[in-house]
Homo-oligomer: A and B are copies of this chain.
Amino acid sequence: MKKYQLMAPGPTPVPTEVLLAMARPMIHHRTPEYAALFTEVRAGLKRLVQTRQEVLTPACTGTGAMEAAVANTLSAGDRVIVVNAGAFAQRWLAIAKAYKLQIVELAAPHGETVPAERVAEALRTHRDVKAVLVQHSESSTGVLHDVRAYAQVTAGTDAILIVDAVSSLGIADLQMDAWAIDVVVSASQKGLMLPPGLGIVALGDKAWQAAARASSPKFYLDLTEERTYAARNEARFTPAVSIMVGLREVLRMIEAEGLANVFRRHDRLSRATRAGAEALGLRLFVKATPSPALTAVEVPAGVDADRVVEGFATAHNITIDGGRGPTKGKIFRIGHMGYAAETDVIIALAALEQVLAELGQPVDFGASVRAAQKVFVEKS
């Protein structure tokens, strides 16, 4: 028997308690029972996103939530800045193209980030920029972009800052209101440890003003309409009822742990994973601030990273993920987000040692686990 372990950078494992909560008999969404659930979820999401705004929950995945942010705040012909340092930034580019926006692309090599000063400079050059689109955590490279600094740069301009927090919400600190982030977008299947299928979107006042002017067509993802219903604690359309039921459980778990502790746990898990990989002589792919959601690791010359992913799957029944596009075969990515604990990091590193040895690499068995343990015993 090999116990199955899902350690990809999303979807993440769903706690058994949450799975069983979602397995309760279906309820109708226009009942007092659902209204009570929605009240609790709405309040919990505000605390999670650290905002006083309504946090909307369209039934879609993260990409749908990203498109909702664009379709609701921008119009064809609008100029936007896209901070591009990975595959999910390319999704912003694709959405912007679909909506016929003019794009100013600020690119950085994968593994790097774009300094806020470059964004500021682009905003000075292009006075008509309506929005800056960026990831908080770029899952394809393992970089955390400094969205707080980007917000300081956009705050003094007419541009709104739209942040993809799909793999950072409930993982890395993100203070929507205090940092003056205009739009936060996320989804259910990462830090929220739920099945995929629920989008999360919150708009600040500046973004709602942009929404009032935006003419891009939208209906299902019309957030202005969605907010009107949410303010009455009503579902506009049939919601993703079972995931909303699960979300209530997850929000209770997060509140019980304490949001600050949730962030500290992810930070500790990611530092331990990085320390473990480095103890094996491997190089981290990330060159900038690492995301606490996942760790992207380079393989030694002559090793195909996809064979590492395959080794995790076949010999250990653990799902991790490889690189995509330019990093395919060059990196593997281990997720430690959401329902992730120290034991998961230990398991992943021990498996990594065995997989590398099986691929003919010299391995000092136990070295990575030891490095992780040293992180875990630190007082922090």
Contacts and interface: CB of A to CB of B under 8 A. Distances in A.
Interface stretch (A58-66, A172-180, A293-301, A347-355): A58-66
A60 B62 contact: no
A81 to B, nearest CB: 19
A139 B62 CA distance: 30
Contact of A59 (B20, B64, B67, B94): B64
A223 B29 CA distance: 28
Given A10-B238, A196-B238, A218 B98 contact: yes
- Find the residue from A30, A71, A218, A220 having the highest chain B CB count within 10 A: A220
Interface stretch (A11-19, A151-159, A247-255, A271-279): A11-19
Contacts of A321: 28, 30
Contacts of A14: 25-26
Interface in A1-53: 4, 6, 8, 10-14, 19-20, 22-31
Contacts of A64: 59-60, 64, 220-221
Interface string A331-352: 0000000000000000000000
State the copy count for this chain. Answer: 2
Given A63-B219, A241-B195, A19 B23 contact: yes
Contact of A189 (B31, B71, B238): B238
A interface, over-half SS: loop
Contact of A11 (B63, B196, B216, B241): B241
A237 B19 CA distance: 22
A50 B362 CA distance: 57
Contact of A217 (B27, B198, B217): B217
B28 A8 contact: yes
A240 B243 CA distance: 10
